[in-house]
């Protein structure tokens, strides 16, 4: 997404901002993955998403993605509290 979006926008300011946000997001994701239990939880959740996709159950896949995102957000908040 990032490369295509940057090419389409053709805007140096946007490209710079996008790269900064992407880099900060990657750093946070790596750190959150180190929290106890997050890796195992994430793997289980991704497997549930993939299983729904393989079954062709789009509604279930969407539900599982929403659960995964909610869980990731909760872990990010834990990370924030852990660091601060």
Q: What is the pLDDT of residue 82?
A: 65
Q: Where are the domains of the chain?
A: 1-33, 36-84
Question: Helix-strand-coil percent breakdown of the chain, rounded to 5?
Answer: 90, 0, 10
Q: What is the pLDDT of residue 59?
A: 96
Q: What is the value of pTM for the model shown?
A: 0.63
Q: What is the pLDDT of residue 2?
A: 56
1-16 per-position pLDDT tens digit: 456 776 777 888 888 8
34-67 per-position pLDDT tens digit: 888 888 999 999 999 999 999 999 999 999 999 9
């Amino acid at each position: 997404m990032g490369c295509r979006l940057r090419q389409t926008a053709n805007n140096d300011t946007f490209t710079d901002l996008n790269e900064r946000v992407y880099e900060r997001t990657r750093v946070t994701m790596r750190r959150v993955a180190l929290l106890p239990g997050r890796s195992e939880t994430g793997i289980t959740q991704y497997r549930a998403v993939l299983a729904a996709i393989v079954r062709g159950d789009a509604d279930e896949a969407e539900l599982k993605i929403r659960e995964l995102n909610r869980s990731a957000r909760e872990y990010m908040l834990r990370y924030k509290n852990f660091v601060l």
